Amino acid sequence: MSLKTSVRLALAFAVIMGGMTQAHDTSAPGMAASSDDPYLWLEDVHGERAMDWVKTQNTITQKQFADSPEFAQTRDRILEVLDSDARIPYVARRGNYLYNFWQDKAHPRGLWRRTTLDEYRKADPKWEVLLDIDALNQAEGKRWVFKGSDCLKPDYNRCLLSLSPDGGDAIEVREFDIPSKSFVKGGFELAVAKTQASWIDENHLFVGTDFGPGSMTTSSYPRIAKLWTRGTPLSAATTVYEGKADDLVIAASHDRTPGFERDFVTVAHDFFHSDTYQLNNGKLIHLDVPSDATADPHREWLLVLLRSTWTVGGATYPSGALIAIKYDDFIAGKRQFVTLFAPDAHTALSGYSWTRHHLILDIMDDVKSRIDVLTPRATGNWAREDVPGAPTFSTISVIDTDPDNTDEYWLSVTGFLNPSSLERGVLGEGPAQVIKQSPAFFDASKLEVSQHFVTSKDGTKVPYFEIAPKDLKLDGRNRTLLYGYGGFEVSLQPSYSGSVGRAWLSRGGVYVVANIRGGGEYGPRWHQAALQANRLRAYEDFAAVAEDLIKRGVTSPAHLGAEGGSNGGLLMGNMLTLYPQLFGAIACEVPLLDMKRYIHLSAGTSWIAEYGNPDDPKQWAFIKQFSPYQNVKPGMHYPAVLFYTATSDDRVGPVQARKMAAKMEGMGYKNVWFFENTEGGHGGGADNKQAAYLHALAYDFLWDRLE
């Protein structure tokens, strides 16, 4: 996958989806309340007054919802799922080994480990532990959270490990030696920051980090990419590219594919627009594709994934299409592409993966999965073959391949009621075989999945999935939980959740997933339909699903709850303020809410392309329509609401949830609850125990407040 794609996905995912120091948060210790925002003091993230308020709120919420045997049972049942030894240990191949990161009750912060394929096939494989994060924390007196590794191929013996001090996006990077299972003394090491670091060779890195004042963008990501040589101080690293302060992020990478070694620089201007350059002998060669497209060089090919229609070389290619050309031909000026995928009214490309000789496409057909395999031919055409076998209402996706060496591929297959499985295959050697199978964590025999379509306010058909008892009585009395996201072209596809099954479905509840606009379920057009001035379309879609559930007799407002996090938290804030009559309770998690100040908080500037710039009066005119913090009013009949967030969230930050809860309480609303975890970053929990607590808090709150 291209650097451009990896940068965008890393930022998006989770939005999904800033540095530990909140470098671009305009709040400051002791900030006084302003006349138009009396809760500005809560933006002082670690300030004594703000933290005293947080502690008081946490105590109230815990006493109400967490000090009961019922809560303990919910939490423990979820934790059993998260800590279960029967879970699938998902792996990534690096050379002759399969690598895995594993957390359980005995290892809450986790083990980074590896094994061989032959061993992995066994029911109880033996693992070689490379790094025990809990042991590291004990030795160093820290609370590190493992954030991943980048190992130097082809032998993968040297790795760059990312460690977060609190679960946030800011990381410390250290060089690790696999044979000795130890950090390299005097090796590459970078202090905590929002760092981009990648190998060139064993003695050189491309690095983007906090080099000092002015070296980070206003979005709090690296503005400068440098080349760093082993044995020299970071201050001696040479600049490869220097972007603008209002760029999103600058990153450089080296492609080590044998015979196709190339250097690239990606300049991300915002979430959806960037330029990619090949760095060749000190010169930058621009890959001249639309700025909202993804340019992905691989071996002799250049793939381009389009987000808008592109007319080039005498042909027109639609938004959402994947097209291909020989890389050298493209650099030479040719523009005759081959279309590998073109969407229609029902289909969109979810992703793609190279093996050594083939390209695998993950395709969504009305949000359900299928897999196609493409093979380039010497004639310039590509052969196409379907891979059958996906269960109904399932998601089948490629999670790993070995593109430098083999046609091996690994598939994840999951569905709402089908426990996930992991399959391995080699293209050309028969169908994939199940290697690992997750157990069933709840009884699904009396449940069924159905897909429905509802007409939104502007006439658009919007799909949603419903998981409900087979004998569901359409009497409007079923406790129903409606989940959504609707942003950043992120798709909500069918997936198995033992937590949802145990904490909601097993109680007799109905669970619904809304595939609203703003997501990627139908490709770029579905996302772009709810951007900026059109943002209300996403909220109209979600409200239409809620209304349809009520109309069909599945539930009623007093029995209908809603849940969403991050951008989905903004969705929840708008359900609260724009559609309060539809819901009995809302769980609003790690949310954006103050859209007037969001670009001045944490990494908020990076989302202007999604929401707009509130500092521009013309744009604020439409943004204010979906800014819950500004739109909440006294004297309304709002549903019960739980806000939860994390002090260590350096992406969205905790301050928006704090301010919204405080403002509502200041207006006299009694059914407002707030909880803030100290660790875990934007994910909310640094380990399984914390995650189980937060999930249980949300589910028990919703169940308790719904009639």
SS3 370: strand
The beta-strand segments (E) located in 438-541 are 447-455, 461-469, 480-483, 510-514
Which two tokens mark 258?
């044998």
Closest-CA residue to 68 (of 493, 703, 614, 501): 703
Chain Cα centroid distance, residue 526: 18
Which two tokens mark 664?
């509502």
Measured distance CA(23)–CA(17) in Å, rounded: 19
Q: What own/partner pairs with CB < 8 Å and gap ≥ 24 does 271-280 have?
A: 271/8, 271/11, 271/12, 271/488, 271/606, 271/607, 271/609, 271/610, 272/8, 272/307, 272/609, 273/609, 274/4, 274/7, 274/8, 274/248, 276/2, 276/3, 276/4, 277/241, 278/331, 279/240, 279/252
Q: Which DSSP helix (H) or strand (E) runs through 114?
A: strand 111-115
Measured distance CA(595)–CA(629) in Å, rounded: 7
Classify residue 330 by its DSSP letter: H
Please, are residues 487 and 567 in contact by the beta-carbon 8 Å criterion?
yes
Which two tokens mark 70?
């019922």
Within 66-92, residue ranges assigned H as helices are 69-83
Q: Which DSSP helix (H) or strand (E) runs through 227?
A: strand 224-229
Order across the sheet with 262-268: list the strands: 249-255, 262-268, 274-280, 283-286
Closest-CA residue to 394 (of 503, 470, 467): 467
Q: Which DSSP helix (H) or strand (E) runs through 12?
A: helix 3-12
Please, are residues 674 and 642 in contact by the beta-carbon 8 Å criterion?
yes
Measured distance CA(132)–CA(333) in Å, rounded: 51
Q: Which residues are catalytic?
A: 566, 682
Please, are residues 531 and 610 in contact by the beta-carbon 8 Å criterion?
yes
The beta-strand segments (E) located in 456-540 are 461-469, 480-483, 510-514
Measured distance CA(339)–CA(335) in Å, rounded: 12
Please, are residues 388 and 382 in contact by the beta-carbon 8 Å criterion?
no
